[in-house]
Amino acid sequence: MFGATGPAAATQTVLAVINKQEATHTQFVQSLQNALAGRRDKKIELKIQSIEGFDSARAPALIVTAGIEAARRVASANPPAPVLYTLLSRTVTAQILGNPERVKSREIRDSAIYSDQPLSRQMDLLRIAMPERTRIGAILGPATHSLAKELRTATRERSLKLKIATVNKREELLTVLDNILDACDVLLTVPDPLIYHGEIIHHLMLTTYRHRIPVIGLSKAYVDTGALLAVYSTPEQIGRQVGEIAAALPTQGEARLPPPQYPRYFALSVNSRVAASLNITLDSENVLLGKLESMRRP
C-alpha cells in the first residue's frame, strides 16, 4: 500500500540531518529535494536540520543523515523514526548499525546507502577497460580485512588472479606496497583510512607510477591525484536514490526500509595523462560507462 493520490493524500515528512558547511551535503540535499518534488503520486515534505540542531523527539516518516558526524549524532539519539544513513563507507556504516546499545534499546529498522561501490562493479570495470590485465593486487587494513572473501569471489568469477596483502600499522605500508606491486599488474584501492589517508595517497600514486602499475581509485579525487580510473557515485546520485526509497514508504503503518545497499547510480572518470604515460589504451569515459551500465549488478 503506497498511499492515496489527489487532494486527500497525506503529507509525509523526510528530515535530512546534514553539515550545512559541507558542499557535498548541499548537493546531496538539492538532489533529494528535486527527486521528492518530482513525485506526482505522493506528497513528501523535506525538512533540513543541522547536526547541532537535531531534535530526536521529532517523528518524521524518515530521517536521512549525510556523512559521519550526522550519523553518529542521530544514532546516539536513538530516534523513534527509521534512519537512512548515507555518504558513509560500508565499513563505517556497519559500525554504526551494529552499535550494541541501539540493538538493546529497540528493534533496528534503519538502513543505508553506502558511498563506496560493490567490488563486483569495480571488477567489471577492470575487465571492460583493461581485459589484458588479470593480476589484481589489494592492500587491506584493519577496517577492510573482512573484504578478503568477497574480493576472492569477485576475482575468481571473472577469471582474475588476486594477491592480497594486509597491514595493521601505517609504518608497514611502504614495504608491503613494494612487494605487492611486484606481483600484480593493477592495484585496487579499498576504503581503509589506515592505508588511503592524506599524503599517503600521493606517495602511493608516485610509487605505483614508478612501477608502471595502474590504480583503480575510489573517487574522482583519486583520479585527479594519479589513479588511472575510478567508478564512484556523486552526492547527487545518492540523493536521487534516497528520493526513490522515501517515495516508496507506506503512508500508513510502520515504515520498513530496504536492506543496506550500494549506490544504484554511478559515474566514471579516466586520467588520460596517466593512461598515455603508461601506454594504456582506453575507451572514452562515456563508452566505458555505457558498457558498465549494461552489466548492472547488485
Tell me what the pLDDT averaged over the chain comes to.
89
Tell me yes or no: is domain 119-232+267-294 CATH 3.40.50.2300. yes
More reliable by pLDDT, 91 or 298: 91
**pLDDT for 209-238, tens place per residue?**
999 999 999 999 999 999 999 999 999 999
- Across-strand partners of 136? 162, 186
Residue 152 has pLDDT above 60, yes or no: yes
- Asked if 126 contacts 292 with a C-beta cutoff of 8 angstroms, the reply is no
Q: List the helix and strand counts (H, then E) for the chain.
A: 12, 11
pLDDT on residue 22 = 94
Residue 127 burial (10 A CB sphere; 0-12, 13-18, 19+): middle
* pTM of the model as a whole: 0.89
Q: What angle do CA 203, 206, 212 make, to 5 degrees?
A: 145
- The DSSP annotation for 207-248 comes to HHHHTT--EEESSHHHHHHT-SEEEE--HHHHHHHHHHHHHT
The string of pLDDT tens digits covering residues 83-121 is 999 999 998 998 898 754 554 444 558 999 999 999 999
pLDDT at res. 104: 45
What pLDDT does residue 200 have? 84
- How much is the pLDDT for 251? 76
Q: What is the CATH number of domain 11-115+234-247?
A: 3.40.50.2300
Separation of alpha carbons 24 and 67, rounded Å: 9
- For 88-97, which contacts have Cβ atoms below 8 Å and span 24 or more sequence positions? 88/112, 88/114, 88/115, 89/114, 89/115, 89/116, 89/191, 90/114, 90/116, 90/191, 90/260, 90/262, 91/143, 91/144, 91/146, 91/191, 91/192, 92/68, 92/143, 93/260, 96/71, 96/72, 97/260
**163 and 114 in contact (C-beta within 8 Å)?**
no
Distance CA 63, CA 58 (A): 10
| Domain extent listing, the chain | 11-115+234-247, 119-232+267-294
| Tens-place pLDDT, residues 18-55 | 999 999 999 999 999 999 987 777 788 999 999 999 98
119-232+267-294 shares the fold of 11-115+234-247: yes
Tell whether the model's pLDDT for residue 291 goes beyond 80.
yes
For residue 6, what pLDDT is reported?
A: 46
Residue carrying C-alpha cell 527527486: 35
Band of residue 297 on the pLDDT scale cut at 50, 70, 90: low
**pLDDT tens digit sequence for 52-77:** 999 877 779 999 999 999 999 999 99
* CA 102 to chain CA mean position, Å: 23
